[in-house]
Amino acid sequence: MPITAYSNAARRELDVEQWLGLNFYDVNADPNWVLMSGALREKAAVDIECSCCGARGATLVRGARSKGTGKSVAQPHFRFSSPDDSNPHNTAVEVRGAQDDNLEQHLEPLLSSNDIESCIRRQAKEIRKSSE
């Protein structure tokens, strides 16, 4: 999931906490986002887009801390989804999830260093062909 995304309103790439600050939400006063309004969440869905492919429908995901140590174990980030819960990202974007139906066709079985070298050679040939 992307840690930063493009804000159309701010006209720049921001992380979640920066975006919330620009929208006058005090993360320090409400670290668990209990008081966050639905309107602010809806604004994120409309304003924020994936920096790589322009996917819309951003959801704000708060960071997490370890209960034992209090250390940060997950950063706040953006999640993108469509109304039908499908992945809206372009197929070339690396944040596509494992739930994608045709993911298997893009995987290469790598059993040895020879397999890896062979895979790289095939991909280089495909890139050369597509750029001609």
Span 16-21, average pLDDT: 93
C-beta atoms surrounding 107 within 10 Å: 7
Question: Full-prediction pTM beyond 0.75?
Answer: no
**pLDDT category, 21, cuts 50, 70, 90?**
very high
Position of tokens 């604004």? 43
The model's pLDDT over 28-71, given as tens digits with 9 standing for 90+, comes to: 899 889 999 999 999 999 999 888 777 888 889 988 888 888 88
More confident residue, 1 or 38: 38
Task: List the alpha helices (DSSP H) in the chain.
Answer: 16-22, 38-47, 113-131
**pLDDT category, 27, cuts 50, 70, 90?**
confident
